[in-house]
Chains A and B, each alone.
Chain A
Amino acid sequence: EIVLTQSPGTLSLSPGERVTLSCRASQSVSSSYLAWYQQKPGQAPRLLIYGASSRATGIPDRFSGSGSGTDFTLTISRLEPEDFAVYYCQQYGSSPFTFGPGTKVDIK
């Protein structure tokens, strides 16, 4: 089973700041089958990025993903008030398709 580690656990930031979230896998994620999701309180997760770097439909271009192998990054170029949430990575290259523990981005 591939274990995903996300860092940091929590980030306290201000609107307008640039954010970089990390996701590290215990073994290589095949074909860059790595996704990022955003979850707000009381809501289902929302897909942001798939294939490590492709934005899902309707996702603003301030969200970008990069990486390959075992190291992946989600970047939010300029935080908007609606971006304060928890972010999860998920690998879907090898079953079970595990999630990382999440990074909470909250308002400073």
Chain B
Amino acid sequence: EVQLVQSGAEVKKPGESLKISCKGSGYSFTNYWIGWVRQMPGKGLEWMGIIYLGDSDTRYSPSFQGQVTISADKSISTAYLQWSSLKASDSAMYYCARPYYPSRLNDAFDIWGQGTMVTVSS
């Protein structure tokens, strides 16, 4: 079964760092792009950025460029989203997602992780 499994919920304080993960299984991980999507409480979906696992080519939304870092370790089929200094406004659900076709950047997200809830509070 093709699936993306994300790391568990996190509770952090403002200013702390955080790295959440998204592990793929059931398919050839390095042949696909993996994207990250934010959903703040009660709000809509926001596309943050995307990484190609084959060569780590990464694209960011201007809204998130410089605010987060997307990375990957293809040896363990895992993509990451990290913050160096969290703010309360980073509190949200974060989803990773994979397009249907391999190697295709311009594609809809067919496979989604279960989401990681990040809460930032003093």
Residues of A that sit less than 8 Å from B by CB: 1, 31, 33, 35, 37, 39, 44-47, 50-51, 56-57, 86, 88, 90, 92-93, 95-102
B114:A44 contact, CB within 8 angstroms:
yes
B61 contacts the other chain (Cβ, under 8 Å)? yes
Partner of B47, one of A47, A50, A90: A90
B100: chain A residues at CB < 8 Å are 47, 50, 56
Establish whether residues A35 and B108, one from each chain, have CB atoms under 8 Å apart when the complex forms.
Answer: yes
- Contact digits for B98-119, partner A, Cβ 8 Å, 1 yes 0 no: 0010000111111011110000
Partner of A97, one of B35, B113, B115: B35
Nearest chain A residue, comparing its CB with the CB of B113: A44
Bound: A39/B45 CA distance, A:
10
Tell me which residues across on chain A come within 8 A of B110, comparing CB atoms.
47, 50, 56-57
User: Beyond the given A33-B106, A45-B112, A88-B44, could you list 18 further A-B residue pairs with CB under 8 A, ordered by the A residue number?
Assistant: A31-B106, A37-B45, A44-B97, A44-B113, A47-B100, A50-B100, A56-B108, A90-B108, A92-B106, A92-B107, A95-B59, A95-B61, A97-B47, A98-B47, A98-B61, A99-B37, A99-B47, A101-B44
